[in-house]
Amino acid sequence: MMTCRELTEFLEHYLAGELPAPVLRVFDHHLALCVNCVRYVSQYRDTIASGRRAFADLDVPVPDDVPDDLVAAILAAR
């Protein structure tokens, strides 16, 4: 039986689909029995998605050029 501590140690590999089949079976068995770990895994996924979402709206088109005044300021400060 995998413990909650062990489950968190395998979590990255689980999400990356890198767990060997025998370990994956034990991992899934733990999740089937432990609602607390189900929530932990779910919130871990939501954390990754939240980080991306929090910055996604700030995506802006890559400008062709740096504004000339900014180029001048950078070079002048050198």
* Residues at the site binding other proteins, with contacts judged by CB under 8 A: 3-6, 8, 11-12, 36-37, 39-40, 43-44, 46-55, 57-66, 70-71, 73-75, 77-78
CA distance 78 to 15: 46
Closer CB to other proteins, 28 or 50, in the complex: 50
DSSP summary character for residue 62: P
Residue in 13, 4, 6 with CA at minimum distance from that of residue 38: 4
Closer CB to other proteins, 32 or 49, in the complex: 49
- Where helices occur in 16-34 by DSSP H, the ranges are 21-33
Closest approach of other proteins to the CB of residue 61, in Å: 8
For 44, the token pair is: 């871990």
Closest approach of other proteins to the CB of residue 21, in Å: 21
Closer CB to other proteins, 8 or 31, in the complex: 8
